[in-house]
């Protein structure tokens, strides 16, 4: 079946450290891939996306590249800030599936000053 697996958290980093949150997916077709972020006290919001192999999604200094050969969509940021502390969710969806998302379990990131 289709599924998404993320690295377990919590992840604790110092400000300006490099961030990687791993995400791998399984799919019977060709999914679109997403990263959502949930800041404390807020709802999930779309951070970035990629719709086909080798696409790179980017936003707010975060990047993720759709790697079909490794079925991965790892989230990276070169220099994290305290304000990046949040829970990050990787997700996939398939065209003509009504916009339904298949989520990973979420990874909590805590950035210390």
Number of residues that bind another protein (CB under 8 A): 26
Question: Residue 111's closest CA among 12, 4, 43, 6?
Answer: 12
CA 87 to CA 106: how far, in whole Å?
6
CA 48 to CA 64: how far, in whole Å?
8
Between 49 and 77, CB nearer to another protein: 49
Non-local (6+) Cβ contacts of 41 within 8 A are none
Between 4 and 19, CB nearer to another protein: 4
Between 102 and 109, CB nearer to another protein: 102
Contact characters 73-102, another protein, x per CB under 8 A: ----------------x-x-x-x--xxxxx
Question: Residue 64's closest CA among 47, 41, 84?
Answer: 47
Binding site residues, another protein, CB under 8 A: 4, 32, 34, 36, 38, 41-46, 49, 51, 89, 91, 93, 95, 98-106
């Amino acid at each position: 079946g289709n599924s998404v697996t993320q690295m377990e958290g919590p992840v604790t980093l110092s400000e300006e450290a490099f961030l990687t949150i791993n995400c791998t997916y399984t799919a019977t077709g060709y999914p679109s891939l997403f990263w959502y972020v949930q800041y404390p006290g807020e709802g999930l919001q779309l951070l970035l996306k990629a719709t086909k192999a080798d696409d790179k999604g980017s936003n707010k200094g975060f990047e993720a590249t759709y790697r079909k050969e490794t079925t991965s969509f790892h989230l990276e940021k070169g220099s994290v800030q305290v304000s990046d502390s949040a829970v990050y969710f990787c997700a996939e969806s398939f065209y003509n599936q009504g916009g339904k998302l298949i989520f990973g379990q979420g990874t909590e990131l805590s950035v210390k000053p």
